[in-house]
Every structure is written in C-alpha cells, then in structure tokens.
Chains A and B, each alone.
Chain A
C-alpha cells in the first residue's frame, strides 16, 4: 500500500505519512485481535450436540475486566496518537516560517488564479502577474500563500505536498509549504464547488533555482 501514496515532496508530509502508518499498524493489531476473537468464538463455541452455554453476565469485576482493560489500552494509545498529532498539525497549519516567496491563490468557478507580486514584491501594483492554473515556485524555499475564493468554497489540495486547505469567499487564509523536489504536481479542488468541480485541475511547478530565475526573467515585467 505504501506505493499508493503519491511521492511526498513537502517538509511536513513525512510526519503525516508516519502518523498514518502508526495508526495503520496499531489499528491493524486491534483489527486482528477483535476479528480473530469473533472467528475463534464462533468456531470454538458453535453449537454441538449437547453443549450448554455458560452463564456469564459480565457484571463481576473479574469478568468486566475483559472489556475494561482493552478500553484502558485504547485510551493510552489514543493519547499517544493525539500527542504526535498535535505536533504534526502545528507544523502544517501553525505559524509559517519566514517566507521566501509570497503568492495569492484565489479559487473561482472553475479555476485557480495565482497572483505573483512581481519584482517589487508588493501585491496590487501594476507589475503583478496573474496566471490561471499555473503555480511556479522555487525548490527548498518557504512559499506563503494567501488563499481566498471569489464565489463558493473551493479546496486547495496538492496530494504530493500532503496539503489541503479550503478556500473561503470573504476570508484570506494563510497557507505555507516548502517543496523539496523539483517537478510538476497536480492541484485538485477537494470541495464540491458546482458542475465544473472536476475541471479545477491546476499545476504546481517546483523549479530548481536556475529554472525559477529563468521563469521569472521570462514572465515577470522587469
């Protein structure tokens, strides 16, 4: 199943994947235990010729321990998952590190508008560059995105980055990532946004430093 995850190219994606696998293995152990017990009981206690059932109410503590002990173990495991989860969530959705590149990403029915601030580094000036569907960023640099929407709720989802964030009209939500490998990665819309929902395919291009410099030279007004 490991190869079914898209290859991770973000700094925080590894933590999300390891948490997934932690829950997977712990969950699998419980699955095997519970299903194994059911199977064993059904086979072992299948009605025979003269077998009489035992009168077990589960009321005495010695009996109810059979359900309370598993619950206590689950509680401890839950808290471990929570503790790891708090750390991993903070890494993704918490305060962004100092950004190297700033972008504005606005969803609309049915496309993604990516606004680059241009050479002056300031938005809403004449040298801004707006591209449809195409997001270009340099590798190993912190990218800060101001995410918004013009009309309905969209959701910015880049599986390779393990990053998803709803885009809401009337709000600007800060999102950040640092991509670790150059390449082209698809952007999906993860929130039903109307009949053209399926068409909201964007492309994140992560450049090497050289190719990013070249892309800037070719596209930004100097």
Chain B
C-alpha cells in the first residue's frame, strides 16, 4: 500500500540535510550521531582503563579535561564513577540503539519492503531530533556542578535517589531526563517502524517474504515498546525522589530499593535483545549474500527469536541473584535464563549451516559478519555461567560479567554494525569502500577486541570486582595487575585500530569507486534501485515475486533471483 500523496523532493539545504523527513537522510543522521557517541564512549573507556592500569598517574590527554574532574592530570574518584556510568549509558542507549535501530531500521526497512518512506516521515524526523537533544543533555551533564551521573548505568537507589549520597545533583537529574527523552524517541520510532512494516509493504511482500532484517527490526521494536513502560515509571519515581523528596526507593521513608531493580531490569534484560536482534538481522543478510545460499531454516530462526523474545521478559531477576530478593524465586529465574540457550542454539547453528555447501567470498563485510558470529558465541556460552545462580554468587559484579556482556554487545553492535556498514555503504553513499583498508581495520579490531576482553574473564575469576577506582587497594588483586595493564594497552590499540576505518570513510566518500545498484548481487529490494536510491526510493512501483534468499536456485541461469525480478525472466519459482 503506497502513500498516495508523495512529498516533493526538498530543495533548501536545511530541509534536505538537517530537518529532513526522508528516511534515508534520517538513517544517516542516526548513523553519524551513533558514531560520534561511540567515539566519546570509547574515549571514556580509555580514561578509565588508564586509571586502572596506572592508578594515580597522569592520563595522557588529561589537559583537555578540567578540574574538578581531574586534579593534576589524575582522574578523581567521582569523575571515575561518572565515566563508569556514562560509558555504559552512552554505549547502550546512544550508540547501540541509534546505529542498529535508528540507522539500519530507518535506512533499510522502507527500502527492503518496497515503500517510499516511513509511515510517518515527520514523526521520524521528530524522533531523531529528540534523540539528538537527549544526547546533548547527556553530554552537557558532565559540565554542571557536581558532574555527570555517578551511580552506575543501572542507577541503583538509594545512591541515585539522594544527591548527598553520590555527591551528584543536577548531573543525575539530567541523566534521568536524557534517558526519558531517549525512550520517547525510540517509542515514537518503534510505532513508526511497526506501522510501516504492517501497512506499507509493496504488493507481493507477504510477511514470510520479509528479509530477516525487517523481522528483527520489527521484533526488536515490539520488545522495546512492551518492556520500557515500567522503567519509565521507575525513572519518574526516581526523579520525584530526587527533586520532590518522596521516598519510593528510600527505606527510611518506607520505600524499597529493590523495587527499582525490578522495574529497571524488567526492561534492562529485554533491551539486550532489542540490540541483539538487529545485529542478527545484519548477519542474516550478509551471510547468505556472500555464501550464495538461502538462509538456513528461515522460519525456524524466526520462531526461535519469538520464543527467546518471550523468555526475555521472564528472566530479569538473573541480574539480582545476590540482591536480597526472595531466594525461592532465584532458581525459577535461573532455569528460565539458561533455557534461552535453546532457541539461540537454533539461531546460531542455522547461521552456521547457512555457510554449509556455499560458495563463500570474504570481502570485509563478510569478515565482519563471521567475526560477529564467532565472537558472539563466546558471549552466549559465558552467559551460562552468569545464569547459573550459584556460580553467579561468585562472579556477579566482577570483571567476568564485564567480559561476558562485552562479548555479547561488542560483536552485535560494533562488529555487526561494521558488517552492516561495509555491506550497505555502497547503497547509502553510492561509493565502494576500500577493501584493503577494510581488511586491515577488521583484523586490528578483532585482535585488539579479544586482547581487551578475553583477559577480563581471568580478572573476574581472580575476584576483581567491577567499578572500583583503584585495584591496588587489594592484596588479592596485586597478582592480577599485569593482566589489568595488558587490558589497558589493548584498549588503546582497539581505539587506534579505528584510524584505518576513519581514513577509509573519508577516502572512499571522496574518491571511492562508484557503486553499481547491486554490487554484491543480492536479492533484497534495496539492491534493485540505484545507489544511492533516488528521493522516494524506487522509480516504478516495486512488485515482489519471491522470498529474499533465493540464491543458487537449481536451474536458474544466475546464482541470485532478486525479489522483484519480473516473473517471466525467472526460470523457476
């Protein structure tokens, strides 16, 4: 169903590039915002790691930071806690979601379903600018008196509920405000995406012909919209506790700190799947295209994802095994958590089986997709340790957990995001990326990523707790200090590894080879239009003939059958 009143292509600079209603421009805006925030979040990690490896020494580059965050170039404990808090907040809410949902969702979904734009283009523009405001609020919070929020990205009260306890006043209020705006942006975005997928599909694009990426975006949007409500309510209560002096989470006034944890994690766990699913969506497009094979067991993957999505609402208390919640309830949550490994085994093995019997090419996009898959497996398996309640008693709040969730989120967000970036860059910008620089970037990133996070498992096993400012306080951690230092050096390498990437973007945008409409010979609809696609995406009205993964069909004269190829030119199906 196509919108009858198409809007004309805007001509002024502002309407075209800044306040644009074109989903492709908005998608790129999300992408740039996410990349800038990723750089900032990465630099925060660098400052933290420096303090951990060489406690009390001057951080190179600290001249850019002002007092009271640093004193004589040394990070202060309050600023360290602010970095811990803001690194997590920014990476989850202002990098992962803008890139995976905002950029890929906005840019790809209308193209992939054969629509001219999102269902509500102006709402789409509003969503982005709300998110932009939210990002600004978060970054500005570093500069208010008392500094940015310092209670951890989970903001556990009473620490977060009373300014006196954390020493942060306005920073924490702005953190709540920034998150509320972020949630609003993605709620509006989710409604928009849902409406778009349900009502704007081109003729012939049945639900079972949707590319996996669209299904993942749709499922992620639904999970987000269903789970975020309790956390928004909790955030309002927290703000009231701080500003009005109520005591919802303060025991001295009859409140309960555990209430916040339940409200937060009821959303916090499904949020992991909100981020994870679009990452799997990238894999599900890239792996078939470069294996020249249909995705293995399309429907079975989707059913597994739906089961995992439902289970994700029933496992939140696995973040709370040692929180003081009722111990009788712990085992049911532990069982449900570990059960999630069953649907994900199906998904992972289906993705692996997609390679089986293929004709595999290894351009940078495929290397990143394989990197995502191989690394995410480590994240998945180590989740069993945390999900097992007795093991969690020991490893909870240690670096083992830090290593685990970075092995789930880094592959999906950064490796998966980069797989998508290298894959769809020709479509988005009309130029090919440099493959040599791309491969250098891939290997440097993959090796330094593992050098950062693999040793963290050992730190956690050694009893190294998270979020401490100075590990040298503890005799227990002294033998581990060599590992801590190694991790910091690897972090610097990981950040420097992004330089070839930035060079690649600049060089390719200006001098890259012009991209053909379908450089990867892929099937989905976005590859049937020009690179970059024209305003309103398609020249004619696309009509969809078949599913998205018809690669190497026996009897066909080429090894791909585009979804909108005319029926009479195809030899089968």
Q: How far is the CA of A16 from the CA of B392 in the complex (A)?
A: 9
Report if A101 contacts B (CB, 8 A).
Answer: no
Cβ proximity bits A17-51 to B, threshold 8 Å, 1 near / 0 not: 00110011001001100110110011001111001
Indicate if the CB atoms of B84 and A165 lie closer than 8 Å.
Answer: no
Indicate if the CB atoms of B355 and A42 lie closer than 8 Å.
Answer: yes
Indicate if the CB atoms of A67 and B476 lie closer than 8 Å.
Answer: no
Q: How far is the CA of A62 from the CA of B290 in the complex (A)?
A: 25
Which of A69-77, A115-123, A208-216 forms contacts with chain B? A69-77
Report if B356 contacts A (CB, 8 A).
Answer: yes
Question: Given A4-B461, A19-B390, A153-B156, is A46 in contact with B362 using a C-beta cutoff of 8 Å?
Answer: yes
Q: Which of B342-393 contact A (CB under 8 A)?
A: 342-343, 345-346, 348-350, 352-353, 355-362, 370, 373-374, 377-378, 381-382, 384-385, 388-391, 393
Indicate if the CB atoms of A1 and B461 lie closer than 8 Å.
Answer: yes
Query: What residues of chain A lie closer than 8 Å to B382, measured between beta carbons?
Result: 27
Indicate if the CB atoms of B465 and A189 lie closer than 8 Å.
Answer: yes
Indicate if the CB atoms of A198 and B470 lie closer than 8 Å.
Answer: yes
Report if A170 contacts B (CB, 8 A).
Answer: yes
Indicate if the CB atoms of B297 and A57 lie closer than 8 Å.
Answer: yes
Indicate if the CB atoms of A199 and B291 lie closer than 8 Å.
Answer: no
Residues of B within 8 A of A (CB): 76-78, 81, 84, 150-152, 156, 158-159, 165-167, 251-252, 256-258, 291-300, 322-324, 327, 330-331, 334-335, 338-339, 341-343, 345-346, 348-350, 352-353, 355-362, 370, 373-374, 377-378, 381-382, 384-385, 388-391, 393-394, 396-398, 458, 461-463, 465-471, 473-476, 551-554, 559
When A and B form their complex, what is the total count of cross-chain residue pairs whose Cβ atoms lie within 8 Å? Answer: 284
Shortest A104–chain B CB gap in Å is 16
Task: Name A156's closest neighbour in chain B (CB-CB).
Answer: B322
Question: Given A27-B382, A109-B165, is A74 in contact with B362 using a C-beta cutoff of 8 Å?
Answer: no
Task: Name A86's closest neighbour in chain B (CB-CB).
Answer: B331
Shortest A173–chain B CB gap in Å is 5
Query: What residues of chain A lie closer than 8 Å to B251, measured between beta carbons?
Result: 168-171
Query: What residues of chain B lie closer than 8 Å to A59, measured between beta carbons?
Result: 297-299
Cβ proximity bits A188-222 to B, threshold 8 Å, 1 near / 0 not: 11111111111101000000000000000000000
Query: What residues of chain B lie closer than 8 Å to A37, measured between beta carbons?
Result: 352
Residues of A within 8 A of B (CB): 1, 4-6, 15-16, 19-20, 23-24, 27, 30-31, 34-35, 37-38, 41-42, 45-48, 51-59, 63-64, 66-68, 70-71, 74-75, 78, 81-82, 85-86, 88-89, 91-94, 109, 151-153, 155, 157, 159, 162-166, 168-171, 173, 186, 188-199, 201
Shortest A210–chain B CB gap in Å is 25
Query: Residue among B461, B469, B553 with the most chain A CB within 10 A?
Result: B461
Indicate if the CB atoms of B359 and A47 lie closer than 8 Å.
Answer: yes
Q: How far is the CA of A166 from the CA of B471 in the complex (A)?
A: 20
* 16 contacts across the A-B interface (CB closer than 8 A): A6-B476, A20-B394, A23-B385, A27-B381, A34-B352, A41-B360, A63-B296, A71-B345, A75-B342, A82-B338, A92-B390, A155-B322, A164-B393, A166-B322, A190-B396, A197-B77
Query: What residues of chain B lie closer than 8 Å to A162, measured between beta carbons?
Result: 393-394
Indicate if the CB atoms of B470 and A38 lie closer than 8 Å.
Answer: no
Q: How far is the CA of A38 from the CA of B465 in the complex (A)?
A: 34
Indicate if the CB atoms of A57 and B323 lie closer than 8 Å.
Answer: no
Indicate if the CB atoms of A201 and B474 lie closer than 8 Å.
Answer: yes
Indicate if the CB atoms of A45 and B338 lie closer than 8 Å.
Answer: no
Indicate if the CB atoms of B393 and A82 lie closer than 8 Å.
Answer: no
Q: How far is the CA of A21 from the CA of B39 in the complex (A)?
A: 37
Shortest A79–chain B CB gap in Å is 8
Q: How far is the CA of A42 from the CA of B471 in the complex (A)?
A: 42
Indicate if the CB atoms of B151 and A192 lie closer than 8 Å.
Answer: yes
Query: What residues of chain B lie closer than 8 Å to A70, measured between beta carbons?
Result: 345-346, 349
